[in-house]
Amino acid sequence: PHWVSGPEAEVQRMAWAVAAVLGLLLLLGSPGGCGGSPGPPRDSLREELLLSPLPSGDIAATFQFRARWDSELHREGVSHYRLFPKALGQLISKYLVRELHLSLTQGFWRTRTWGQPYLQAPAGAELWVWFQDSVTDVDKAWKELSNILSGIFCASLNFIDSTNTVTPTASFKPLGLANVTDHHLLRYAVLPREIVCTENLTPWKKLLPCSSKAGLAVLLKAERLFHTSYHSQAVHIRPICRDASCLSVSWELRQTLTVVFDTFSIGQGKRDWSLFKMFSRTVTEACPLASESKIYVDISSKTQENELLEVTPPPLSVHEASVQGDRRTYAVYDLLSPLLFNVSRSLNVQLKWKRPQDSLDLSTPVLHAQRYVSGYGLQTGEISTLIYNTHPYRAFPVILLETVPWYLRLYVHTLVITTKGKENKPSYIHYQPAQDRRRPHLLEMLIQLPANSVTKITIQFERALLKWTEYTPDPNHGFYVSPSVLSALVPSVLAMKAEDAEKSPLFTSLFPSADGSSYFVRLYTEPLLVNLPTPDFSMPYNVICLTCTVVAVCYGSFYNLLTRTFHVEEPSRGGLAKRLANIIRKVRGVPPL
């Protein structure tokens, strides 16, 4: 500004000072970005760790970090990101994504021995996305989205293309708010061969507001997390109700990480666990940006007598919830309450078994499945799926989604579904045959499972011969068939009342529950490893030589047999004297004897 002298200068300086002070107030007083009166921050973070001892003696630890942002991401001009990571926010607004679910898993959740999982993920990488209905070219957006995600998460998601993408028609309904459920906006792909390692955990941790410096995320150390039987990390983005009236939309980002520590490799055979034993670290403080930071330990006992587990330090409160149709008790440690760190600066939750576990405590889950491939040789085979319903008197429907790559040619006329020896006709079948090198097989069926039964689904296939360049560098390892997905509404033992999503723990609000009589569960079967007829890549030169030799010998022999003429030869007579005489006569020019 031009500095003029006199009283005008005074006025000008005062005006400038006032403007500066106002500007400073604005800067300090409006972290959320409102130009007028500063309101409460529009985003919040909740973090939670759930430790559940499994019936087999192992322990499962589920981390959940939920960032909720009360804003409309699809509007222009959103540029101030606080807790919600900018990388994902920009992705959602650019590709008009309504829901995004990405998971990277190593290992397999053994439902029969470990019980029903809260949120299971298939082995490898799984990505399913619902787009907004304003997207014109869904396939193009899907391809670009998977490429960008491969850069963010250091995974080979760029291998997702039309040969492994399907559009399910009945499974994978949106988990968030939805008014349009046209399944042409949904894309689903699985890469069963994908490896999960530290390079995938590093960017996942960087998306957290506190990173791995404070709060529950300090426990996430790669050396311990990958020495497990099951490791699954996932990112879920969906729109949710902002409040009970549900008139406006908030965006929710959930980052979940589930690990199962094995008794024998980590626990040295003993079934006593502690945070230090599992993660080689203890918790010292909550994340300062979190509005809620809790550790839940599952201490429910099946027999209702005395407790199975002893938890130290003694929990400040106990929470009871009905999860998956069962009444469960949890010990709660609230990291934000000042009482927790009174005794010691670090929190090391320890679990000890009071009495040895007997088989009465092991309860089989209501729904579990297994899948295997049978047959011999390298031409044909058969995929069989067994689905078990162990509920004593209730029947319920299940949707089975199978995606089979094009090089295993399924024969749908051999599809047989039997339950208790009788044929079971599905209420809905959607089958999309494969196109070579363009599209995989998609088979979706809605099957009614009678109570206390085993349903067997078998389908035969034939193996195709791939082109030379389509084989992977290690083709003798085999080719993977992605896991099949079972979605079911399982009837629950107890009637559950719908609890407020904000007040209940995060692990109870993964799936939106419609009514209290059943709960939704999504299970995955094992991936299959199938050998295709593989040429011997190591010896092309030798093979060509051998083949050429055989062909030459065969052909040459036949040629000779067909074209050679035979003459009868005079037998030679006479001894040595006659021959000598003949030689002399030849020299003389006289005809021989």
Report the site for another protein in 23-52 (rule: CB under 8 A).
Answer: 23, 26-27, 30, 32-36
Could you tell me the smallest distance in angstroms from the CB atom of residue 59 to another protein? 18
Could you tell me the smallest distance in angstroms from the CB atom of residue 287 to another protein? 19
Could you tell me the smallest distance in angstroms from the CB atom of residue 429 to another protein? 11
Count of residues interacting with another protein (CB under 8 A): 78
Could you tell me the smallest distance in angstroms from the CB atom of residue 221 to another protein? 7
Residue 108 touches another protein, criterion: CB under 8 A: no
Binding to another protein, residues 536-565 (CB under 8 A): 537
Could you tell me the smallest distance in angstroms from the CB atom of residue 459 to another protein? 21
Binding to another protein, residues 442-501 (CB under 8 A): 446, 472-474, 487-489
Nearer to another protein, 142 or 330 (CB): 142
For residue 154, what are the contacts with CB-CB under 8 A and spacing of at least 6?
A: 199, 200, 202, 203
Q: 127 phi and psi, to 5 degrees?
A: -135, 125
Binding to another protein, residues 133-162 (CB under 8 A): 143-144, 147-148, 150-152, 154, 156, 158-159
Question: CB under 8 A: which stretch of 6-14, 16-24, 43-51, 308-316 binds another protein?
Answer: 16-24
- Two tokens at 73? 């991401």
Nearer to another protein, 57 or 475 (CB): 475
Among 179, 359, 560, 563, binds another protein (CB under 8 A): 179
Whether residue 97 contacts residue 129, with contact meaning beta carbons closer than 8 Å, is answered with yes
Q: 108 phi and psi, to 5 degrees?
A: -140, 135
Among 264, 411, 511, 555, binds another protein (CB under 8 A): 511
Binding to another protein, residues 228-287 (CB under 8 A): 241, 245-249
Residue 176 touches another protein, criterion: CB under 8 A: yes
Nearer to another protein, 197 or 464 (CB): 197
Question: CB under 8 A: which stretch of 22-30, 434-442, 543-551, 577-585 binds another protein?
Answer: 22-30
Among 121, 399, 442, 485, binds another protein (CB under 8 A): 399
Binding to another protein, residues 72-101 (CB under 8 A): 72, 75, 77, 80
Question: CB under 8 A: which stretch of 225-233, 328-336, 403-411, 553-561 binds another protein?
Answer: 225-233
Determine whether 229 is exposed, middle or buried from the number of CB atoms within 10 Å of its CB (0-12, 13-18, 19+): buried
For residue 150, what are the contacts with CB-CB under 8 A and spacing of at least 6?
A: 156, 157, 158
Whether residue 1 contacts residue 16, with contact meaning beta carbons closer than 8 Å, is answered with yes
- CA-derived radius of gyration, the chain: 35
In 3D space, the residue among 246, 82, 272, 84 whose CA is nearest the CA of residue 179 turns out to be 246
Among 20, 412, 498, 544, binds another protein (CB under 8 A): 20
Q: 570 phi and psi, to 5 degrees?
A: -70, 135
Residue 62, strand partner residues: 50, 258
* Strands, sheet with 518-524, edge to edge from the N-terminal-most edge strand: 428-432, 441-449, 396-404, 485-491, 518-524
Helix, strand, or coil (residue 226): coil
Could you tell me the smallest distance in angstroms from the CB atom of residue 534 to another protein? 12
Q: Which amino acid is at 249?
A: V
Among 222, 311, 336, 493, binds another protein (CB under 8 A): 222
> What is the β-pairing status of strands 43-53 and 292-298?
parallel
- Quick note: the x/- pattern for another protein over 181-220, rule CB under 8 A, is x-----------x-xxxxx--xx-----------------
Binding to another protein, residues 317-336 (CB under 8 A): none
Cα Dmax for the chain: 155
Distance CA 515, CA 495 (A): 9
Nearer to another protein, 99 or 298 (CB): 99
Q: 463 phi and psi, to 5 degrees?
A: -90, 140
Distance CA 258, CA 49 (A): 10
Binding to another protein, residues 336-365 (CB under 8 A): none
Distance CA 292, CA 406 (A): 48
Whether residue 391 contacts residue 451, with contact meaning beta carbons closer than 8 Å, is answered with yes
